[in-house]
Amino acid sequence: MMKHRIGLLLTVLLLLASLFFACGAYALESTCPAGLTAAAAPARGESEVAVYSDTARTERVGKLKKGVTCQVVGASGKYYRVAFDGIEGYALKSKLYLKAEAGEKTRTGNVITDIALDQYLFNSTGQAKNMAIRGTVQTDAPLDALFFILWDERLQKTEQIVVKEVKDPAANLNIRDVCKKIEFSSMTAGRKTLLIQGASDGKVVDIFSAPVYVCGKFKPLRNINDQCKFSAGMNKKNQGGRSWTPSKGKDTLTITLPDDGSAALMTIEWRFPAESFTVEFLNENKKTIGTETYATGFYADAVDIPAEARQVRLSLTGKDNNVRNLCVYDANYPDNAVQKWQPVAEKLDLMVFSPHQDDELLFMGGTIPYACQKGADVGVVYMTNCGRSRYTETLDGLWTAGLRNHPIFLGWRNQKVNNTSIALKTWKMKGVDPQQEVVRLIRQYRPEVIVGPDPEGEYGHAQHKLTAKLVADAIPLAMDESYDPESVQAYGTWEVKKVYLHLYKENRIEMDWSQPFSPDSPISPIFLAKEGYDKHRSQQKAYSMNREAETFDNKIFGLYYTAVGPDEAKNDIFEHIDLQ
């Protein structure tokens, strides 16, 4: 019975021309540069490329020299139509390589289109290589070529360009008459922006733009570790990373940076959160120019490197810890791909309790991205320790889903047991009182709303059931001045406004996670949640957002407790809550 004091799938709207949508794998704004358009330069081994007046090579009108870029404004057979330095003509495709270039080259025009992709989430890189497309486009002048530009939001660069000639130029064009599928030669995982542009007699118009997501393991970022020198004891890892275990007499790691001052950022992934660590920066004369001490308690930290620094000294406190992976990047590192975690906000709008690392997305659906995009302060608490590699997957998943505040890992034992009594005993083995810990977290962070797992354990998991019980029992205890006086003295008591439990059978609401954040984009809470869950690579074979998430419907929650009255609309966990 509810304890309280007072007792659609939207169709993605047709995407209009000239819009750069909410994209970015980690935000809604695309990083795609304005005016990005197809360009070309001489291929490797070509010192210059001849440009002709027509495809019959009637007259040579210029030459494109090595290092010079031209705009591609059309295609005809074996030739690209190119423009540069006031010259316009045709050059052999085989002698050019395609690239993309930003600038004021793309011309706008009157465009009417109902183009759409058959899907925006692709289960694999192989599936995404052939993007099925449909719809029509109407322009002021006949289109003679189409450009398909794929921008990688994570790496912030153009991944591929495909140019299709329109055999019968037309101002009213069915896209499938040109190509039924956009055939990319290869694909990497992550968020992309697909741009479609059309060429008409040497002029280029924007036609369509949409975000897509390709599941799979991220491509590693390029670092400059190979340009740095590391003190003895630093081990080289795959993808150019470095690991380090401090030892007696070797408790400081020294990194000599490139002489050109290109180093801009250092990322550190810890085996366990460091009690604290100190970073000292030295200039070319080995004089200290700055010292910073950090005590974030994060599993991953990012440290900005001053431009004048030529050496970094890293030291840490605490025993039995090490650097799991360390990378140094130059100033060109992509912001979207580097996690710069912030502490949990002092006062939360939403606190999510997740039994294991992945339940917060698998069974709670779009809760986290929905709240983040509303501007809510969100805190995520994980009860169990599913293994160190799962922590990395979790951070990747949360960052992808939109969270910027480092989660709280309680680190209790992960074990399948028969009932909640045994589960509670295994959690108490760490010498803590789980109930008291949950109450302390609620008092410390003062959430307005709490979301927790199914009291029946989704698929019957005892640790899911126990998490729901601890959350439910914590609500009156957090208000009780006589319970845990120590946390009362530290934080005071707190009354949560609303508590929702997944699949709780009373006072149910249904969240429409499929509703896009913007009418001009397919990105929705469940879109981001699926992106995030894709980062849990170790769980992909065992669990699926298209199977478990539907079997144990992650849109359905029951209002277990309310201090602000019953829900009326029954479609918003923040109903009756004033988000500051």
- Reported as a pLDDT band with limits 50, 70 and 90, residue 108 is low
Euclidean distance between CA atoms 180 and 77, whole angstroms: 19
Question: Cα(first)–Cα(last) distance of the chain, in Å?
Answer: 31
Euclidean distance between CA atoms 524 and 529, whole angstroms: 9
Supply the pLDDT for residue 19.
30
Supply the pLDDT for residue 106.
59
Supply the pLDDT for residue 316.
83
Supply the pLDDT for residue 520.
79
Supply the pLDDT for residue 6.
33
Residue 240: CB atoms within 10 Å: 16
Burial class of residue 412 (count of CB atoms within 10 Å of its CB; 0-12, 13-18, 19+)? buried
Looking at the chain, the whole-number percentage of residues with pLDDT higher than 70 is 92
Supply the pLDDT for residue 239.
63
Q: What domains sit in the chain, N to C, each tagged with a CATH number?
A: 37-214 (2.60.40.2550), 225-333 (2.60.120.260), 350-562 (3.40.50.10320)
Residue 415 C-alpha from the chain's centroid:
30
Place of tokens 């030669």: 185
Q: In this predicted structure, which of 58-62, 155-159, 299-303, 555-559 has the lowest mean pLDDT?
A: 155-159
Q: What is the pLDDT of residues 482-528, one digit of tens each?
A: 999 999 999 999 999 999 999 999 999 999 999 999 887 889 999 99
β-pair partners for 291: 280
Determine the residue type at 246.
P
Q: Where are the alpha helices (DSSP H) in 480-524?
A: 485-491
Contacts (Cβ under 8 Å, ≥6 apart) of 285: none
Query: Where are any strands of DSSP class E within 5-119?
Result: 37-42, 48-52, 60-65, 70-76, 79-84, 87-92, 96-101, 111-113, 116-117
Mean pLDDT of 353-382: 97
Supply the pLDDT for residue 329.
97
Length of the chain: 580
Q: What is the CA radius of gyration of the chain?
A: 28
Supply the pLDDT for residue 226.
94
Cα–Cα distances in Å, from 291 out to 231, 248, 314, 330, 339?
Answer: 19, 23, 10, 20, 22
- Reported as a pLDDT band with limits 50, 70 and 90, residue 7 is very low
Supply the pLDDT for residue 17.
29
Euclidean distance between CA atoms 469 and 421, whole angstroms: 11
Supply the pLDDT for residue 27.
54
pLDDT at residue 20 greater than cutoff 80: no
Mean pLDDT of 301-310: 97
- Reported as a pLDDT band with limits 50, 70 and 90, residue 145 is very high
Q: What is the pLDDT of residues 115-124, one digit of tens each?
A: 999 999 998 8
Determine the residue type at 160.
Q
Supply the pLDDT for residue 109.
72
Supply the pLDDT for residue 578.
95
The reply to whether the predicted model has a pTM over 0.85 is: yes
Determine the residue type at 214.
V
| Structure tokens given for 88 | 């316009």
Q: Which residue has the higher pLDDT, 108 or 361?
A: 361
CB 64 within 8 A of CB 84: yes
Supply the pLDDT for residue 320.
67
DSSP class of residue 36? Answer: -
Q: In this predicted structure, which of 93-107, 406-420, 445-459, 548-562 has the lowest mean pLDDT?
A: 93-107
